Structure 1
Amino acid sequence: MSQRLLDRYAKSEFVATLSVLSVDSETDDDYLLLDIEIIELYKGNKTNLLKIRKSKGSGCPMYSPENTKWLIFASKDQNGNLIFGKCSGPKQLDRTFDKERFPNAEFNYSKSLERKLELLETLKEEKIEPINTYDLYTSFKEESLEKLKGHEIENGNNAFYEIIVNEDLSLKDIRILKEFNNEQLSNELIDFIKKNIYIGRIGKLKTIPEETKIILGLHYYSAENERKSLILPYAF
């Protein structure tokens, strides 16, 4: 199962869009040293240095060239270094594609990136701090999501709910953190979530040591051509 964006955020100590000014591969035997300039900081403290573990012994090697722009999720290693790699989910903001070979790739990539940045901006503006202490995940049956098609929302494509989870992974309560600008839909969503949400734990574990909270994010996709509008959980 691919790691969800909200979980990447929760598990990271630094989330930002940034420019890579220079890359030093000589000073440190274990890391590439990146001199960076932050464009937008979503989580963590300002810094001008990030590290990428060199490929030897690393299961997630990558390279961020000079003069490129990125969305980065970084965490501290045992020595306090802010590091990231391919597995942490970085996205290049200025990535280009061969339009002849992949005519739709750039558009699709840009739209996906736009949704990610919109979500992060909403978290920052609303001061929502995702947490996921016990590696829980939520899902809905595909047929149940059919009920969320055909709605109209004028402003704001994101809604967030705090899900309070019992020790046996059952739903205890829901608290609205940010709702869609559609009162009828917002009322329906609470009932929909209560009836249809499934809460699981990675590793097929069925319990947690104590009651906990997780964040559920929903995104509104407007109608396009013959496709009705729809609402889906964040899963990218």
Structure 2
Amino acid sequence: MKNSFRIFIVLLVWSSSFNCIMACICDRPKLADNVAKSDFVAEVVLNKIHQDSNSEYYHISEVEIINLYKGDSISSIYIRTALNTSCSFLPGENSRWLIFARKVNDKLSFGYCSGSKLITRNRWSNSPKANLSYWNSVSRRVEWLKQMHAIGYESTNEFGLNVSIDKRSFNNLRGSQGKQFDFSTFEFEIDTDMNVTNVITIKEFSKRSLARKTMKIVEETRRASSNKTNRIPKPTKVTLNLFYYEEDEDSESFISVYDL
């Protein structure tokens, strides 16, 4: 199957920290949604790490901030290590990370299920294709964060809605020419009945032909949805990304709402 290898690599990336058969199961939000619900997003180096004396569930790390995308500057952060569980997670000292952290009970922390990523070109030994895919995945996230930060845009999705874009429409875009790590970002205005009332382009694809085609698909989107409700208490806005994936030896180029 043409995309089988890429799917395999994505699964390998997602499961890289699983260390037992009964693995930790995490929700995997889209990048914009993860940023929206996070209180702190940054590229950091984790320096000295030690056990939290008040909780066996946490460790504390000194932090050197490389690039700050959301939140206030910090000098330390809690790590939800949860050792001796299927969600155990203990980064190495002096490792570089893209962190998505939330404040819970006055503790700004991140853990296995936070969506945080180790920034490295050598995630696995003797796996050059997997390492390249992982590096591209991290780079894609960093590129989006840098560009959104540069224009002062902060993603939003207050009620955790899904924009009901017809993903089958992307089939006609397979094989399109584009730029590595390129993306489009849109902001959908949603009324209380979860109808799309307006779409604002935050950033479009660099290739004009691709930008026009994706915009047509986006403009045909009429609804948002939720697993919890059919109506929201007030009008809201939802950020949605479309990511371009280059052709490689295993698959043709394609567009996806997911940051793989």
TM-score range, shorter chain: 0.7 to 0.9
1:22 is aligned to 48
Deviation at 1:222, TM superposition (A): 2.8
CA distance in 1, matches of 2:75, 2:98: 15
Cα distance in 2 between the residues matched to 1:161 and 1:12 = 19
State how far apart, in whole Å, the 2-side matches of 1:105 and 1:188 are.
Answer: 31
1:213 to 234, 237, 245: 237
**CA displacement at 1:103 relative to structure 2:** 4.9
State the superposition RMSD in angstroms: 2.6
Counterpart of 1:110, as a letter, is W
8 Å contact 1:21–1:34 — kept in the other structure?
Answer: yes
Task: Give 1:10 shift.
Answer: 0.5
Query: Aligned residue pairs: how many?
Result: 232
Give the share of equivalent positions with the same residue, in percent.
Answer: 28
Q: Is the 8 A contact 1:171 1:194 kept in 2?
A: no
Are 2:247 and 1:223 equivalent residues in the alignment?
Answer: yes
Contact 2:98/2:117, CA 8 A, preserved across alignment:
yes
Say if 2:99 is the partner of 1:75: no
- 1:50 corresponds to 2:77: yes
Deviation at 1:145, TM superposition (A): 0.9
Residue 115 of structure 2 is matched in structure 1 by: 89
Q: Mapping of 1:103-142 within 5 angstroms?
A: 103-142=128-167
Q: What displacement does 1:165 show?
A: 1.1
Deviates more, 1:11-20 or 1:132-141: 132-141
- 1 CA distance for matches of 2:84 and 2:252? 47
- Of 32, 35, 38, the residue aligned with 1:12 is 38
Q: Would you say the 8 A contact 1:6–1:130 is kept in 2?
A: yes
Unaligned runs of 5+ in 2: 1-26
Confirm or deny: 8 A CA contact 2:80 2:112 kept in the other structure: no
Indicate conservation of the 8 Å contact 2:140/2:181, yes or no. no
In the alignment, is the contact (CA less than 8 A) between 1:149 and 1:230 conserved in 2? Answer: yes
Paired AA for residue 55 in structure 1: A
**Corresponding position: 1:41 with 2:65:** no
Any idea what the Cα deviations from partners look like across 1:69-119, whole Å, max 9, x if unmatched?
11111111222x2111111111111353131xx453212211111111111
Residue 162 of structure 1 is matched in structure 2 by 187
In the TM superposition, what is the alpha-carbon distance from 1:23 to its structure 2 partner?
0.7
Question: Which amino acid in structure 1 is aligned with residue 160 of structure 2?
Answer: D
What residue number does 2:28 align with?
2
CA gap 1:26/1:135 in 2 versus in 1, 3 angstroms: closer
The structural deviation recorded for 1:151 is: 3.1
Amino acid at match of 2:50: D
1:27 CA displacement? 3.7
Task: Give the aligned partner of residue 6 of structure 2.
Answer: none
Give 2:4's aligned residue: none
SS at match of 2:220: helix
CA distance in 2, matches of 1:150, 1:54: 42
Contact conserved, 1:73 with 1:89, CA < 8 A, in 2? yes
Distance change (3 Å), C-alpha of 1:197 and 1:62? farther
Contact 2:195/2:222 (<8 A) preserved:
no
Change beyond 3 A, Cα 1:180–1:75: same
Cα deviations by residue, 1:3-45 (Å, 9 ceiling, x for unpaired)? 1111110011110111111012154335311001111111111
Residues 54 and 185 (structure 1), Cα distance of their counterparts in 2 relative to 1, 3 Å cut: closer
- Secondary structure at 1:223's aligned position in 2? coil
